[in-house]
Structure 1
Amino acid sequence: MTDQQHITDYPHELAGHCGSGALRDLLHWAGLSYESTPLDEGTIFGLGGALGFTYLRHPAMTPPIYLVGRGPDLTVDFTRRLGITATHDTTDDPDEGWAWVRDELDQGYPVLCWADIAELPYLRVRLSMSRHDIVIVGYNDDSHTATVVDNDRPDPQHVPYDALARARASTGFPTPTRHTTYRLRYPTQLPPLADVTADACHAAARALRDPEPMFDSITHGTPGLVEGHGVDGVATFVDDLSRWPELFSSDQLDTTLFALAAFIEKAGTGGGLFRRLQADYLSYLARRTQLSTARQAADTYTRLARLWSDLAAIATSKTDALTRIHTIHAAARHLPALEQRAADDLQILARDLTAGDTNGADPG
């Protein structure tokens, strides 16, 4: 058995989100693009059709709120749309899970895996998040380390085998990691861009307009839980903001506001609760197709990203917590209508892409 392996010249840049950043690098490594240059992260995120919205509040959670602006199936949907064969393996046996990784690397393939951020030593965080995407590009039995590429670090990280095993065996939030491993096999060329983008825009619009609960198996029937999904969930969130001053003490309110800002800007969202990545994708489509509906959607998502980022800035400003929450609630009242408009823009764009209405431009 080989005692070390490393994929040389693996391309990597920092990214706003772990999933779209990993898929961007993997597509670049495979030499696949719709352009003469690699696709950017926003375009990768948009092609996944992964936009969404979920809000949870429950006193047993720490912090007592959870906010996310995407759905759970970016990797599965992205690979399906782009004709990439993805074998998704899970196990509770660490030896089996590690054997999958070694086998892929020995065949010359980088390996996309889940890992809990709390167990990755280079991240130095306490918060558990078990569905963090990493790419493993090497191993060395002499030093007992694996070489890990992470969206949050500019350079590959050498992670001890035991720490990586813990990260891949986590039972933390939102789901057990179970040594999740993706074996990816790439096509010689990508499918037509118009087909991929129409399906991706339709999927994102559907997730916002007619959402399926993201954590239903975990949260269903939980007493005292406030829960909202999709555009209607945004309205639930905004309405619930008015209750925070009576639900939380001053210190708790301060902590919750900082958590809110982190969920919007810092928790691997690419900024603006993933709306900035979506705006980048739609701007790419507007340039590529010359569709006015693509430009309209890009403009709407740019406004949405800015509004979400404004909320995060208010949440971490130097005023007292009560002033901050009242200011946030006043600004957030514009969110439900703008989120609805954005979802509608996506659906209209999906229709135009399906119809091939590109005003003579090349849709790919």
Structure 2
Amino acid sequence: MSESLLDTYPHRMGGHCGSSAMRDLMEWSGLGFDGPPNEGLVFALGGALSLTYVRTDALVPPLYLVGRGPDFEMDLPRRLGATVEVRSTDDPQLGWDLVRDELDRGRPALVWAEIAELPYLRVQLRMSRHDIVIVGYDSDAEIAYVADNDRVEIQQVPFDALARARRSMTFPEPTRHTLFRIDWPEALPSIAVVAAEAFAQSAACMRAPAGSTIAGPVEHSGTHGIDAALALSSDVVLWHELPSDVLEVHLFSLGAFIEKAGTGGGLFRRLLACGCDEIARLTGDAATSDLARDAHRAAAAWTSVAQAAVHKGSTAATRLDHVIEAAAVLTDTESSLATSLDSAARSLRSAV
């Protein structure tokens, strides 16, 4: 087959590449709890909330902050009753064959891609685990059709650019032409059961993260969970020692990682809050309503840090003073959020 296009694929923009891709894939599969799911609900049910903070001169920019865990693309569909097969290869032809086989079967292909190699994004920052969904191809024109949360329209990506994006060796890990082959269920399990499991997983990631994070193995990749909030709030106090140009980079990067780097705002906490609002509506669970409130508070706290970091009209030193003040509440805010996640998980389990 020289051409294939899923022209009815229900793509919309979103706040985060993973949750918006999964939202679209669920809608394409005809799955939802009260109609097609919104992105916040998808993120919340993935149990993906976490926190990792890394500061090292080995990175450009020299810090990394992320608020989700590494396995959302597997955890969410499996929690919903789907089967997931992760296919990775260093052979670019095999990598493309896997995508083409999915498309020729009438199935969209969820893959990783390096953002700096996707021509329509026009970014210099490198990040290899950007989720995109390939929904078609034209072999004669050597074009792939890509759904990306950052663009309204389906994007046309040359085969060679897509191949580069799928063989990246940059942070946080090699893309290795990774593809997620998902077989969705015909019906979804109880939302209370799914949400309880997801909330418990997120709480555990915040309190005692284990195994790997997006930035790598826990023991080799900065600080994690509530400890990461404490590390960041302590670290920014020392940024006054940085040269002004270096401080500018740190402040800009901090604001970007919280609000601009595909987080949905407030370092993923706003997505969680919106999802919890929906779960509370669907279940009537009071503890989940409380969780939504605390998630909104956490999102606002992180957004305050970002706004302080990039506030126009202030010197870098003044902005840093405001960042230090705003960051001082993060540890307590994140601790309260973890407690609320645990409480909502217990409440939903008791109601099943």
What is the TM-score normalised by the length of structure 1? 0.94
Match of 1:119 among 117, 120, 125: 117
Aligned runs of 1:98-117 on 2, under 5 Å?
98-117=96-115
1:221-260 CA deviation, whole Å, 9 max, x = no partner? 6xxx8x21001111111111111111x2101101110110
Cα distance in 2 for partners of 1:105, 1:288 equals 34
Could you tell me whether the CA contact under 8 Å between 2:145 and 2:156 is conserved in 1? yes
Match of 2:173 among 155, 167, 175: 175
AA aligned opposite 1:253 = L
Query: Does 2:277 correspond to 1:283?
Result: yes
1:172-196 CA deviation, whole Å, 9 max, x = no partner? 1100000001111111111121111
Cα distance in 2 for partners of 1:108, 1:185 equals 12
Aligned runs of 1:140-289 on 2, under 5 Å?
140-212=138-210, 214=213, 217=216, 227-246=222-241, 248-289=242-283
1:96-131 CA deviation, whole Å, 9 max, x = no partner? 000001111010000000000000000001111000
Could you tell me whether the CA contact under 8 Å between 2:172 and 2:216 is conserved in 1? no
- 1:100 alignment partner, SS class: helix
Aligned runs of 1:4-153 on 2, under 5 Å?
4-35=3-34, 37-153=35-151
Instruction: For residue 59 of structure 1, report the CA deviation from its aligned partner.
Output: 2.0
How many correspondences in the alignment? Answer: 350
- 2:149 alignment partner, SS class: coil
Match of 1:305 among 299, 303, 312: 299
Instruction: For residue 218 of structure 1, report the CA deviation from its aligned partner.
Output: 6.5
Point out where structure 1 has 5 or more consecutive residues left out of the alignment: 358-364
AA aligned opposite 1:240 = D
Cα distance in 2 for partners of 1:295, 1:215 equals 29
Cα distance in 2 for partners of 1:120, 1:67 equals 22
Cα distance in 1 for partners of 2:68, 2:278 equals 20
AA aligned opposite 1:235 = L
Runs of 4+ in 1 over 3 A off after TM superposition: 215-221
Cα distance in 1 for partners of 2:114, 2:217 equals 18
Instruction: For residue 217 of structure 1, report the CA deviation from its aligned partner.
Output: 4.9
- 1:114 alignment partner, SS class: strand
- 1:353 alignment partner, SS class: helix
Comparing 6-15 with 266-275, greater Cα deviation is found at 6-15
- 2:213 alignment partner, SS class: coil
Cα distance in 2 for partners of 1:79, 1:243 equals 42
Aligned runs of 1:326-345 on 2, under 5 Å?
326-345=321-340
Cα distance in 2 for partners of 1:105, 1:282 equals 34
Instruction: For residue 307 of structure 1, report the CA deviation from its aligned partner.
Output: 1.2
AA aligned opposite 1:316 = V
Cα distance in 2 for partners of 1:172, 1:71 equals 18
Instruction: For residue 220 of structure 1, report the CA deviation from its aligned partner.
Output: 5.2
Instruction: For residue 219 of structure 1, report the CA deviation from its aligned partner.
Output: 8.1
Identity of aligned residues (%): 48
Cα distance in 2 for partners of 1:30, 1:171 equals 32
Cα distance in 2 for partners of 1:216, 1:331 equals 25
Cα distance change of structure 1 residues 215 and 86 upon mapping to structure 2, 3 Å threshold: closer
Instruction: For residue 60 of structure 1, report the CA deviation from its aligned partner.
Output: 2.6
- 1:135 alignment partner, SS class: strand
AA aligned opposite 2:247 = L
AA aligned opposite 1:254 = E
Cα distance in 1 for partners of 2:12, 2:260 equals 17
Could you tell me whether the CA contact under 8 Å between 2:172 and 2:215 is conserved in 1? no
Could you tell me whether the CA contact under 8 Å between 2:69 and 2:214 is conserved in 1? no
Instruction: For residue 87 of structure 1, report the CA deviation from its aligned partner.
Output: 1.0
Cα distance in 1 for partners of 2:250, 2:215 equals 23
> What's 1:362 paired with?
none
